[in-house]
Each structure stands twice: as C-alpha cells, then as structure tokens.
Chains A and B, each alone.
Chain A
Amino acid sequence: MNEPRKQGAGEVDYFACLDLPRRHAIDRAALERRYLELSREVHPDRFAGASSGEQRAAVERASLVNAAYRALRDPVRRAEHLVKLGGIDLDLTDPERGAPDPGKAFLIEMIELREALEEAQGAGAAAVGRLRGAIEARAEETLDAGIDAIDGGEVREAARHLVIHRYLQRFLDEIDGEAH
C-alpha cells in the first residue's frame, strides 16, 4: 500500500454561489450581506426537523456557501479562485492545468533571499524586520501584478505571479514562525 497522491477536483464558481460578478474587485458589503442571508437560509439547524436526506443536503449547501465566503473574502484566495476558474489550479503539479513554473530567475532570487535572511538573523531583530518589510512589499507588488493580469484576461501570466506570491508568502510565514 502506498501513500496517497493528489489530483484536482471539480470546479465550483464561488462568485455565482454568492451572486457576485466574476471579477477581482469586490463589493465587500454585498459579499457580507449575501453571505449572512444565505447562511440563515441554508444552515443545517434550519433543517433540524427535516429528513436525513434534506439534512445532508443542507450540510452540503452550507459547506459550499462557507467555502465560497472563505475564498472570496481574502484577496489572495479570490485571485487564485479566478485563475482556477480560468483553468489553472495552483494546487496541481500538472504542467498544463497546474501551477506554472515560477521561472529560473525567481528561484535564484529565492536562494539569494534565504542567504539574506541568514545574514539578517546574524545581525539582529532590526535587520530581520527590514528584510521582512522588503519581502512583504515584493509580495504585495506580485499580487497586484497577478490581479492586473486577471483583469486583462491573461490567466497563465496571472497564475505565474500567484505562484511567486505563494513562495514569498511561505517565506514570510517562516520568518514569523522563527520569531515566535
């Protein structure tokens, strides 16, 4: 028996789910309002007196609404979802439908960043803080570039930026993790 290996699952349009236009710029108030409305309607507690089939269906509907809300309220997950709807799933390794290669230049940049972090850690908390700030700014720029690409309909390009953003975010998490 082997370890499990992973592949992608079917796509659901979370925007349609919450009656929102399929684009990155989002009306936060509309999102919150619609989410609360739907939650009231579909929450399994509303079906406490229903048959087991209806109850199961309520759990599934509520799960979908919660997943949609979670994905859309966060700008990064929202961008990744749009890319996924465009046919590229960043959680897959498939060369066509999966996360694109971030590129050699970026991998070299990451190696340099790691070296810079080691140096900064030797120099003290202030140096780590400065480096962290710089990486955070770089991550922001990358996300913005990804969103611009989505708005321009360039899914593949958007996906590349979002992959780089993931690397940078993970790096930031590592810095924060070590600081604790």
Chain B
Amino acid sequence: MSTQGPSIHDTGALFQIAEPEERRAPARAPGRGIGIDLGTTNSLVALAPHGDDPKVLADGEGRALLPSVVSYVGDRVIVGDAAQAQQEEAPGQVVSSVKRFMGRGLSDVDFTHPYHLVAPSQGAGVLRLDVGAEGEPHLVTPVEVSAEILRVLRLRAEDALGGPIDGAVITVPAYFDDAQRQATRDAGRIAGLNVYRLLAEPTAAALAYGLDRGGQGLFAVYDLGGGTFDVSVLRLHDGVFQVLATGGDSALGGDDLDRALAAHLLGRAGFDETRPPTRHQRELARIAARAAKEALSEQGEVRVSVAACGIDDLAVTRATFEELIEPLVQRTIRACRAALRDAGVRARELDGVVLVGGSTRVPRVRAAVEETFGRPPLTDIDPDKVVAYGAAIQADILSGSAREGVTLLDVVPLSLGIETMGGIVEKLIPRNATIPIAARQVFTNYSEQQTGMQIHVVQGERELASDCRSLARFELRGIPRLPPSMARVEITFQLDADALLTVTARELMTGVRQSVEVKPTYGLSEEEVDRLVMESYDHASDDYAARNLAEARVELGRVALAVRTALAEVGHLTAILPAEERASIEAALVSADALMREASEAEAVNAARVEIERRSEPFARRRMERALLAGMEGKSLHEIESVLAAEEEHLDERRGGHSAEVIDG
C-alpha cells in the first residue's frame, strides 16, 4: 500500500504540502511488453509483439511451464524443475505454492505446508519463511520468493527479445484482495520489472478467447488454479470487456484436490490423530496425490505407492476421488451462482463458459460446470496457457504497439470499508464496483484538542471489522485546533485500475493536503520494498549486461583463437599475408586480449571482435582461395562452382571464415 498523494516529511509544521512529483511520460518500447501468469503451481511468460498472436516462451529444453518452486538449498537460489527435484530431500528449504502466502498474515495460514513460518515482531506485518538449513536461519518473505520466479521469466523473455523488456502485465486471481495484489506488484518491482498492470486472471482468459471469436456476448470464466478459484461474468461489447461480477475463493484450488486425496491415502495407510504423518510424509503423499489426480483424468483407476508412508500399490478409483473432492467442487459452484446473481445474469443468457486452470481437466469439475451453466464449456485454448496469452496481449497494447485497442473494465472483488464505532464496518466501495473508483469521506474533529485520528481500512463483506481483512491503518495528523466539528478533513480512497488502494487527505477549510501515514497490515512497507528493489537493481541492471558481456567474451575468444590458429599455420607465407597486414591483425589481437581481461561492457568486446574480423578479412579470403585451388585440380567447372558456392555459405556463417578446418596448409 502506498500513499500516492502526500509524502511525509516531518518538519514539525502542522501541514506539509507535498504534491507528488510530476514525472515525464515514460518512453515506451512497442512490442517489448510481456505477459506473466504467476501461478500457484506453474508460471508462464508469453509474448504477443506488434499485434502478433500470443506465444508462450519455453526454456532451453522446450518447457513452457516453469514450476513455481524456489529452492534455497546451498548458496544458490534455484527456480523451476531443478528446484522441484530438490523438494523431496529438503522440503523445508524448497518453497512451492508461495502464492498462497502472498499478502497473508500468520493467522490466515490454515492449510498444511512444510515450512517454518516466522511471525512478524509486532503482531501485524509481513510473515516470513525460514528456508535456511538446520541451525542457519535464512528468512525470506513470500514477495521475495515470488520475485525469484518472476526474475527467471524476465530473463527468458529478454533472451527471446534479444534485449531488455519494457514492462510486464502480471496476472492475479480476480479474488485477490488489496494486500495480495500489492504483494504481487512489489514482487514484480523487486524482480526488476516495470509492472504495467495487474490483470485479473479470468479477464486475461476472456481477452484471449474474446479476441479469437469476434468479441461479443456474455461469458463466464471458471478458473480453478493451483491455489485459487475465480469466477467472473463478463460482457464483451465492441472491444470493451466489462466484468459484471466476480467471485471466488483465494484459498481454494487444485492443490486442495491433491490434499483431499493425500489425506485419504494417508488414512488408508493407517495414519490418524494418534499416529500423525510427519511433514515430510505429508508432502510426499501430496506429490503422489497430484500425480494420481492427473492420471485419474484419463483413466478410471490408478495405483499409488509411497514407500516413505507405507503406501504400497494402493488402488484409487475415479469414483472415490470424485467423492473426496465433491465438497470442494460444490464450494466453487456456490461461488458461480453468487457471481451470476451479482451480475444479474441468468445461466441460460450466457453465450459461453470458459475453463481456465489445469484442474479444470478433472472430469468431475467439467461436469459440474456444465450442469451449473447448462452448456459444455469452451476448452479450445490450452487451460494452462490461456491466462498468459491474455496477459501478453494486454502487455502488447500497453507497450504502445499499434494493435487494435481493447478496454478492460474490471471490478474490485471485495468491498472496501473503514472501521467505525464498535468495530462495525462502514462500506465505502462495494464489491463488484467497476474500477478505477474513488470514495470520499469527510471526517470532523470531536474536540479542539484532537489533532489527529486513526482510520482502519478493511476489505471484505462481513459486518465486523475483525471478520474482514485488515488492509492498513492510517494516521491523520495535523488537524488544526478548531472547535468541535469545525475541522473537516476529506479523505479520498482511490482504487486504481489494478484495484490497488491509495489514500489522500485534504483539510476542507484550508484546502491543504494532509499527511497520511500508511501502515500496511500484511504487506511490506514502502521503505522495505524500495530497499529490496535497490538491492535487486544492483543485480537486475547487471543481469542482462553481465550475460551479454559473457556472451561477447565467448564470441571474441572464438574469433581470436581461429585467427591465431591461422596465423600459426600459414601466417609466415607472405603471399597470403603481407607483413603490414600481419602487424595490423596482431595489434588487434593484443588489444582484444586486454579487453578480455578488463572489459566491463559487451559493446567494447563486440567492437574488438568486429575489428579483428575486419582486419583479417583479406587474409581469410586468400586462405580460402588457396584451399580451393589446392582441391580443384582435375575437377570440372561445374564441380568448382558448387564447391565455391558451398564455401561462400560457409564464409557467411563463420563471420570472416576464421575456421581451422578451412585451412589446408
């Protein structure tokens, strides 16, 4: 959370006028916007530059899905499949499903997990995970863990684009509250990303589908992610995607289907309250359950073995699995009905229902959606990728590409309110209000002695503040000493297009902007984020440059070696290499050696390589001619021509042809 308006400089004066600094328009780089689906289980990055169809970027081994798993085993942070491979040996040091912890307090964590959580020192504040080895605590916040995932995706996109990216659209569950969204945005910043926008996952999916099919009509999006569930009802109309209502559960997802099955497996293996499984066993059972769930989408029965839990070739039928998950499925269906009701739309009025998320492959989930909405759902876009596609399209638009614009009118998923007398919540912005939206509230003083007031902002639908999510506490200071009810302070609660809250205050009598000090309940403070951003900046700006430099050095080394080899073999033949040319090439090689040791920028190294290539080009050509002549005796004209053509190609490929195998000394 941040105060966009006044910043606080404690000058001791009653009022501080601190208008936000006017920043110039950021220079945009069309086509260099990326879309990121930061998922509970897997994350993806996609590109759709200059109006192209979106493409998900794969790693060097062709894998598009990056498991959202971060390993802190040893000194190096590892993300993805390699981290996942370490999960069994060190479950406490390998973080998966970190999305479930984003923007959460200790008391919100009511699900099983193998981590050692460290509560913030003063009750509120961001929680931390201890991912250190035994006896060596290493605390990380969920925001930092997420930033590691985002950083890997950023590098993947930079590789694909061949340079730095301009900005990113990161998707969040529609049902994420302010704290969870802010945490996601902070993670993006720490990962060195300019976060254009946070985009609701179902809205992103609708964007991917809507553009595909002409974009008219009423749609519902059922999005069962790894750890979150969303349902959105949208109206598509002439390029406007209007979310009418959204609903869901930010603590219910495919993971829970796995957990239900894991609990069943452990139960059948003889574990119970008197003999509970260890964290390790629980985690292994969960991993086995996930595999079983996936298999049961294809087949009617699966056999499960987990040696560490004493589970040996246990048969699980699809019917059993469906029975286990039915309560969870029904929770999602209730949310669907509520969203339809809030949207004022009947199921039969819909033009289509879109499925998103890997767990929508579970046949029972599909059937329940079909029953509820009265039609078979649309599944023609890969449910694992559709969100990233939508994010990439929106990122392309925001990067300034000449792409037909769409307007996304999203809503705030949960009501925003303030705590009043007796702990009752007064709602300022109702759920499903289209964002951006603002609410203003005027507060007065109770006495001349009152120079400040505390305001507690909460999010949720319940009557009591203690039952809602605490977002932040604001302290208003510097109210003028006026008789009761005379001092009037207007506070503006502004939700931006990301559904992120900013608060500004103004004293109405004087019109002076007032200081508002924000204390996010579960988030990092501005200063903490800034510090982490600065720390990562040191890496972030280096990351790309460092890799470029490394690559440039390899290239220079390769070229220098080839030239040196040639010099050693035929450099003494003055017919091929006149003395002054040799001196010039050797001089270039000497300065290249110096650069190899000292250069800190890729440009200089590349320039040195180009210079060697330029100076040695005639030498290379003569060498090639000589090699050709040597091999040409007794050949037909046709043969000579074809050899010549092949060598030309070779020459192009080799940037100057300094390749030892061409030399025929």
A7-B488, A52-B20, A66-B434 given; 19 more Cβ-contact pairs under 8 Å: A1-B452, A2-B446, A2-B453, A3-B420, A5-B446, A6-B442, A7-B442, A36-B238, A39-B407, A43-B408, A48-B28, A48-B397, A51-B22, A53-B22, A60-B438, A63-B437, A63-B438, A66-B435, A70-B433
**CB-CB under 8 A for A52 and B494, given A2-B450, A4-B443, A6-B441:** no
Chain B residue contacts of A49, Cβ below 8 A:
25-26, 28, 400
A7 to B409, CA, bound (A): 30
Structural contact, B397 and A45, CB atoms closer than 8 A: yes
Chain B residues with CB under 8 A of A69: 434
Chain A residue numbers with a CB within 8 Å of B20 are: 52, 56
Q: Does A100 count as interface, using CB distance less than 8 angstroms?
A: no
> How far, in whole Å, are A18 and B446 apart by their CA atoms in the complex?
39
Chain A CB within 8 A of B240 CB? yes
The answer to whether B443 and A51 touch across the interface, beta carbons within 8 angstroms, is: no
Q: Is the interface of A mostly helix, strand, loop or mixed?
A: helix
Say whether A51 contacts B490, CB under 8 Å. Answer: no
Given known A2-B446, A2-B453, A66-B435, contact A9–B490 (CB-CB < 8 A): yes
Contact of A4 among B197, B238, B437, B453 (CB under 8 A): B453
Chain B's closest residue to A4 (CB) is B443
Tell whether A76 is near chain B: CB-to-CB under 8 Å: no
Contact of A9 with B442 at beta-carbon distance under 8 Å, contacts A2-B450, A43-B497 already known:
yes
Measured between beta carbons, the chain A residues less than 8 angstroms from B435 are 66
- Indicate whether A9 sits within 8 Å of B440 (C-beta atoms), given known contacts A45-B197, A48-B28, A66-B435: yes
B26→A67 contact, CB < 8 A: no
Do A51 and B24 touch across chains, with their CB atoms under 8 A apart?
yes
B440 CB → nearest A CB, Å: 4
A44 to B240, CA, bound (A): 14
CB distance from B204 to the nearest CB of A (A): 13
Distance, CA A112 to CA B240, complexed state (A): 49
Pair count A-B, CB < 8 A: 110
Chain A's closest residue to B411 (CB) is A66
Instruction: Please report the C-alpha to C-alpha distance between residue A70 and residue B239 in the assembled complex, in whole angstroms.
Output: 20
A59 lies within 8 A of B407 (CB) = no
Instruction: Please determine whether A40 and B240 come into contact, CB atoms closer than 8 angstroms.
Output: yes
We find that the number of chain B residues with CB closer than 8 angstroms to chain A is: 54
Q: Are B23 and A52 in contact (CB under 8 A)?
A: yes
Complex A-B, nearest 3 residue pairs according to Cβ-Cβ distance, in ascending order? A4-B443, A52-B23, A7-B442
Instruction: Tell me if B421 is interfacial: C-beta within 8 Å of chain A.
Output: yes
Whether the Cβ atoms of A59 and B496 lie closer than 8 Å is yes
Chain B residues in 8 Å Cβ range of A67: 437-438
The answer to whether B497 touches A66 (Cβ under 8 A) is no
Within 8 Å CB of B490, what residues of A? 9
Q: How far is the CA of A48 from the CA of B20 in the complex (A)?
A: 18
Instruction: Decide yes or no whether B237 CB sits under 8 A from chain A.
Output: yes
CA distance A28 to B398 in the complex (A): 32
A110 close to chain B: CB less than 8 A:
no
Assuming the A-B contacts A3-B421, A40-B240, A45-B408, are A50 and B453 also in contact, with contact meaning beta carbons closer than 8 angstroms in the complex? Answer: no
Q: Given A48-B196, A70-B434, check contact A39 B409 (CB 8 Å).
A: yes
From B21, B242, B497, give the contact of A62 (CB < 8 A): B497
The one of B25, B398, B438 that contacts A51, using a Cβ cutoff of 8 Å: B25
Distance (whole angstroms) from the CB of A55 to the closest CB of chain B: 9
Provide the bound-state CA to CA distance between A145 and B485, in Å. 35
Q: A52-B23, A66-B435 are in contact. Are A6 and B443 (CB under 8 A)?
A: yes
Determine if A40 and B453 form an interchain contact, defined as CB atoms under 8 angstroms apart. no
1/0 per residue, CB under 8 A from A, across B455-498: the answer is 10000000000000000000000000000010010100011110
Residue of B nearest to A8 (CB): B442
Closest to B421 in A: A3
* A 6-19 to B, binary, CB cutoff 8 A, 1 in contact else 0: 11110000000000
B114 at the interface (CB under 8 A from A): no
When the two chains form their complex, are residues A4 and B397 in contact, meaning their CB atoms are under 8 A apart? no
State whether B25 touches A66 (Cβ < 8 A): no
Q: What B residues does A138 contact at CB under 8 A?
A: none
> What's the Cα separation between A49 and B32 when bound, in Å?
13
- Distance between A47 CB and nearest chain B CB, rounded to angstroms: 9
What is the bound-complex CA distance between A4 and B444, given in angstroms? Answer: 7
Nearest chain A residue, comparing its CB with the CB of B442: A7
Q: 17 A-B contacts, Cβ less than 8 Å apart? A: A1-B454, A2-B450, A4-B441, A5-B485, A6-B426, A6-B443, A7-B488, A36-B237, A39-B240, A46-B407, A49-B28, A50-B25, A52-B21, A63-B437, A63-B495, A66-B409, A66-B436
Give the chain A neighbours of B24 by CB distance below 8 A: 51
CB neighbours of B445 from chain A (8 A): 2
Q: Cβ of B340 < 8 Å from any Cβ of A? A: no
The answer to whether B418 has its CB under 8 Å from any CB of chain A is yes
A67 to B429, CA, bound (A): 10
A63-B398 in contact (CB<8A): no
